[in-house]
Structure 1
């Protein structure tokens, strides 16, 4: 019996080792870098990287080790490969273990105390646990409101940047975020000092700037040498909630049109990749501050994701009201959060974002461009807007309202085109049939449960086998 149990243990160990060996970590393909066409991200070996981000702002402050393990495992299970966190949200910030992020201003010389599981020990644990799960940490160095309030000046930014870079320069899974919900023309000298201080030490990791709602980093830093890719925050306001001071204020009732930011950034020089780093969160009140307002739902967060990516973004970041602040009963909720964060990890938006990543990686990646000329007739405004993207031999059109549309199949190669409906709620394909390659196809998404839902129309050169 004993020999039998030992044999079982050996078999289990070999099986476990084999399974772990098969799990490829992203950085095994080399460090992240900007693609040669300056539109996307890739690994050093040329493998494409589709950024699927999750917003975990208060992860360092409000979770213990067990919760970090659980949260990051659920992120990995649902296809997320980046988690965006606030490294510090106060000066000093305190974590769940009661430890401060700094004890004497921005002097970090004695931050590691023997026998104490300190603030930065816990941050190290988050980074290492994310690494084990194949996840990058988008590290927002300091929240912007603190800088605006004078909590960090230029000299302190230089010290802090050097500390962060020295501590994490050898971690394979770091992406630096300068800013933090802040316009780039506020305390610009501090942001520049922080960015350049990090880059002087760490030349291995990419860097961006997280801006204020309805603004883009391209508005201020597109030509900055330290900025590897642009980020915009399309924000949380619905059409007509005209309280922002960014791009949406310039064109009436465009608050939800996040595709506009991608279009604008991709027309600028120098050309840099662009992503929506903070769209409307699932289960957060529209406009943020009035809990009696309607809440953004899963279909809303899907729309933001597909609109942005099909307009040219290299990926997308999702967020959930309860998860981003790690709310639980007993804490004071922000933005009307009502449900514990761990109960929201099965919400529809959280589980469905992976289907966007899966779809985009099915096709030749770097040749993809946004192309609204695919759509004949009315492109549509607001929710009626159709968004189209294509490669040489495939095209995709996102239809949010389920309305009739006309598609020019001649925009891609092939005498014949095979066509599918892709369901962004399930990740499933439904084959429609084969069509003449030069045809203007008139088609309407099917109804689901008697109500029109969002779908992606897919057409592929019939000689290709991507699906």
Structure 2
């Protein structure tokens, strides 16, 4: 059944190819979201960092087809990848650069990237391309590297990329899980951005992917080349207060869209860095992983693992607080782990199994919700919440349409919600939406003249509910 759906999707895409050529995104007139041809674009991303480096074309195309069918709209991938991406060749034996020189790219390596970008375009997917992982630039957190960039070759490399993909639906994301070490590094990233713009033209959409619990706005918010802000809430704990990041970016000037481009990944151990050795010796004690590299002793990672529930909490907290979308991630997928592979971070599943983990289904439900109600109308508004909206698991996020045609209130643990309905102009139709699978449950119709308490059908962890309020005359 899955294969038949994918085949049908491909046939439809090819029949409609002229209409599906995506072209470049731009920033909306109100500077709150990305748009295409003045139509709002909802970023539903996936972190596929090792896509170009690890997979053969057949597997990579299967991955893209699956994500397109699931409703994703952006794929985040790295050209000079994290896992020894300069020295270890791709599936076909090609390295990205000749002699580790950014000014001498390997045409054979980039032809595979061309093919996958073209495939993504046919499927209606945008590619958010990281020119390099951040360990190829000097930082306070060295990786496998090596460090190869300076101000001059960063410009040349950026211009090469911009020119090569100037007519393709790509978004550029500098950085790569690193913060900016000093003014010299600031100059390198600015030079790369200038190169991309000079190669691509004024329509280049560029951001910066920082380390955990950091934001591009810290260094680059006032740079004209920074089209939107990216932050990484990271993998440190459940119920991370992403709404604080969002509310900050919603308020700063000049206005720019913003997004959490690396929240907690589904199936990744919480605070994994506390349990893995990084000194070149054996990463883990014996018996933690089996012969194929899967985690055998799950209890070793004492803080547990992020789940699809954690994904949903951060997604709704971000979007209802003003973000222009959300990026999903899965620990097996970003590194495209298969049985027998080495891993950067040990995995519970292989990547093909992980493609269909519950978190991906939650992203499909998120996309479906905003196909019915325009996210571009959303205005964060917690003033409608009359009950205490707390912090951590008890935090309640809320947003309404700018014309008050609908409102959305998210209860992470199914807590009761007392809501002020007086902003609506007429009778309100109320429903529960289950974020894990996209089911609606009708509640009833209510007067807009007085507050009303709504209690979800279930309560507790993994019992999150979204209250959907529609002004009756607008409801379809």
TM-score band, normalised by shorter chain: 0.7 to 0.9
Corresponding residue for 1:341?
351
Q: How does 1:265-280 map to 2 (within 5 A)?
A: 265-280=249-264
Deviation of the 1:446 alpha carbon: 0.1
Verify the 8 A CA contact 1:33 1:206 in the aligned structure 2. yes
1:420 alignment partner, SS class: strand
Corresponding residue for 1:85?
77
Corresponding residue for 1:351?
361
Say whether residues 1:153 and 2:127 are aligned partners: no
CA shift digits 1:205-232 (9 cap, x unpaired): 3111111100111111111010000110
CA distance in 2, matches of 1:367, 1:19: 29
Deviation of the 1:281 alpha carbon: 0.1
CA shift digits 1:119-148 (9 cap, x unpaired): 111111111111121111110110111212
1:309 alignment partner, SS class: helix
CA shift digits 1:407-443 (9 cap, x unpaired): 11113x3320001001111112111110001221111
2:446 alignment partner, SS class: strand
CA shift digits 1:335-392 (9 cap, x unpaired): 2213210111110001220211221232244332100101102011101101001012
Verify the 8 A CA contact 2:13 2:123 in the aligned structure 1. no
Corresponding residue for 1:188?
186
Q: How does 1:83-122 map to 2 (within 5 A)?
A: 83-89=75-81, 90-92=85-87, 94-106=89-101, 108=103, 111-112=106-107, 118-122=108-112
Deviation of the 1:396 alpha carbon: 0.2
1:409 alignment partner, SS class: coil
Corresponding residue for 1:70?
62
Verify the 8 A CA contact 2:432 2:440 in the aligned structure 1. yes
Verify the 8 A CA contact 1:106 1:159 in the aligned structure 2. no
Q: Unmatched 5+ residue regions in structure 2? A: 1-8, 276-299
CA distance in 1, matches of 2:10, 2:113: 28
Q: How does 1:244-323 map to 2 (within 5 A)?
A: 256-289=240-273, 290=275, 292-293=301-302, 294-323=304-333
1:303 alignment partner, SS class: helix
CA distance in 2, matches of 1:109, 1:388: 50
Change (3 A) 1:445 1:18: closer
In the alignment, which of 443, 452, 474 is matched to residue 432 of structure 1? 443
CA distance in 1, matches of 2:461, 2:241: 23
Q: How does 1:172-187 map to 2 (within 5 A)?
A: 173-186=169-182, 187=185
Corresponding residue for 1:443?
454
Verify the 8 A CA contact 2:413 2:462 in the aligned structure 1. yes
Say whether residues 1:202 and 2:214 are aligned partners: no
- Most deviating of 188-197 and 327-336: 327-336
Change (3 A) 1:452 1:317: closer
CA distance in 2, matches of 1:323, 1:351: 15
Verify the 8 A CA contact 1:207 1:229 in the aligned structure 2. yes
In the alignment, which of 161, 164, 183 is matched to residue 164 of structure 1? 161
CA distance in 2, matches of 1:218, 1:88: 24
In the alignment, which of 376, 401, 415 is matched to residue 403 of structure 1? 415
Say whether residues 1:127 and 2:120 are aligned partners: no
CA shift digits 1:277-330 (9 cap, x unpaired): 000000001112226130001101111111100100000000000001001112
Note the aligned Cα RMSD (angstroms): 2.1
CA distance in 1, matches of 2:246, 2:260: 8
Q: Unmatched 5+ residue regions in structure 1? A: 1-14, 113-117, 240-254
Corresponding residue for 1:140?
130
Deviation of the 1:27 alpha carbon: 4.7
CA distance in 2, matches of 1:342, 1:178: 28
Corresponding residue for 2:286?
none
Corresponding residue for 1:218?
217
Verify the 8 A CA contact 1:154 1:189 in the aligned structure 2. yes
Say whether residues 1:32 and 2:59 are aligned partners: no
CA distance in 2, matches of 1:225, 1:214: 23
Verify the 8 A CA contact 2:162 2:196 in the aligned structure 1. yes
CA shift digits 1:44-101 (9 cap, x unpaired): 2x21100000110000111001101110000001101100001112334521111110
Q: Runs ≥4 in structure 1, deviation > 6 angstroms?
A: 15-19
Verify the 8 A CA contact 1:184 1:221 in the aligned structure 2. no
Change (3 A) 1:200 1:93: farther
